[in-house]
Amino acid sequence: MAALCLPDALMLTQSAAVAGSLHDSIREAQRKVVKIYGAGGVSGLEAYQTGILISAEGHVLTVQSYVLDTDDLAMVLDDGRKFTAEILGVDPVRELAVLKLPIENDSLPHFNLAAAPLAKIGERVLAVSNLFNIAGGDEPVSALQGVVSAISPLDARRGAHQAAFHGNVYIVDAAANNPGAAGGALVNWRGELLGLLGKELRSSATGAWLHYAIPVDQFVASVETMEAGRTVADAGTNSSTATDPLSLAAIGIVLVPDILPRTPPYIDSVVVDSAAARAGLRPDDLLVLVEGEPTASCSAVVDQVTRRESFDDVRISVLRGGKLVEVTLNAEDAEPLDETNEDPSGSFEDSGNPVENNDLNGDDAGMEDAPAEADEVTIDEAIDADGAEAELAVE
């Protein structure tokens, strides 16, 4: 009987050893993950995400997002210590950023990017992140178990707009890319880093939410550039300086006076019959993104806009009444600009006739039929009340 039970006992011993090893790998990975808190908090915009330590001196790799657009960027380590970090560099194509903690004489646990292995289809993996902000202090972040189900080029979108990165990613059959998870670690059962969890995106082909990670070999070179304090240039762009740069005046936007180093970029007035007016932008809208890039000040808006050619479309996102409103503008779609058309009062009426918001209504709106979600444009809901008031004013 004892001989018959020996294989079963051996299997139990081996299972316990695997379980213990897996637990150790999870804890090792959790210690290398950072909880990030910054800008956000309004409707549909979480004020937290995840990052990973990539050096003993406190370099942190995460995704580039509006959460980083603050001077008070808080980082919480696995042991509960809290620091304010600075941004060293960004990669706008892969939408990544490298930050630095104010640590000099400490040896932090970190992932070794140079030693990162490649994952294989069917390999068991762990997604380690602070999704849903489950850990705020010294609590360990979450760990989800899954399998790499595919390795394929990223063909995804956020709202109606395509993601800039189209390289290979790991597709995972776990709910890894939920709010707060972006910037987390995808590791194997030995705790080795395989990739970085990306932002919440939908498949361009099916519209389904994607659960994916960017492989280390897709960003390891750009990390070196960001650690040196530089922004990674898009290899597909000839120059960041436009030959005939676009201007805010050309699309009909007048910002508030730029009197502070970081004057918030509120719209002061909109030029009648301009592209901005036709798209429904309004005074007091807060301009937060240009082509997906955070714009924390008036000067940042000007810098982003003037990188485009005068004939290019420019995608602008504003905050209005707690909702994110996104529009695409083109100076060539507007009537010829005339300084006398600018309405300093910020009204959308000219000689008693309200400016038409054709781009926001009817079949030309370019909106999806599906219910709006946190990262999608919800313009129609934001303008219903004001549109009714405008009709009453005309009567």
Fold of 18-227: Thrombin, subunit H (2.40.10)
User: Which 8-state DSSP code applies to residue 150?
Assistant: E
The answer to whether the beta carbons of residues 182 and 38 sit under 8 Å apart is: no
Superfamily of domain 248-394: PDZ domain (2.30.42.10)
- Report pLDDT for 274: 93
Q: State both tokens at 32.
A: 């290398």
Residue where the block lists tokens 């806009």: 305
| pLDDT at res. 129 | 94
Secondary structure string (H, E, C) spanning 62-93: EECCHHHCCCCCEEECCCCCEEECEEEEEECC
Burial 342-368 (b: 16+ CB within 10 A, else e): bbeeebbeeeeeebebebbeeeeeebe
Contact at 8 Å (CB) between 299 and 258? Answer: yes
Task: Tell me if domain 18-227 and domain 248-394 are identical in fold.
Answer: no
| pLDDT value at residue 8 | 56
Listed in sequence order, the residues at least 6 apart from 68 whose beta carbon sits closer than 8 Å to its beta carbon are 36, 38, 39, 62, 87, 97, 99, 294
Q: What is the pLDDT of residue 205?
A: 77
Q: What angle do CA 165, 171, 177 make, to 5 degrees?
A: 80
Predicted local confidence at residue 155, as pLDDT: 83
- What does the pLDDT read at residue 43? 65
| Residue 108 backbone zone (phi > 0: left; psi -120 to 50: alpha; other: beta) | beta
* Residue whose C-alpha is closest to residue 53's, from 24, 19, 76: 76
Annotated domain spans of the chain: 18-227, 248-394
What is the pTM (predicted TM-score) of this model? 0.59
Distance CA(180)–CA(215), nearest Å, equals 19
Distance CA 76, CA 48 (A): 11
Please give the radius of gyration of the chain, using alpha carbons only, rounded to the nearest integer: 24
3-state secondary structure of 374: coil
**pLDDT tens over the chain, length 395 residues:** 444 455 555 454 555 555 568 899 999 999 999 999 998 777 667 899 999 999 999 999 999 888 888 888 999 999 999 999 999 988 887 889 999 999 877 789 999 999 999 999 999 999 999 999 988 888 999 999 999 999 988 887 766 556 778 889 999 998 888 889 999 999 999 999 999 999 888 887 777 888 999 999 999 988 988 888 777 754 333 344 668 899 999 999 999 998 876 788 999 999 999 999 999 999 999 998 888 777 878 988 998 898 888 888 899 999 888 788 999 999 886 554 343 444 434 443 343 333 433 343 334 433 344 433 434 444 344 434 444 433 333 34
Give, in degrees to the nearest 5, the angle at Cα 112 between 106 and 118.
165
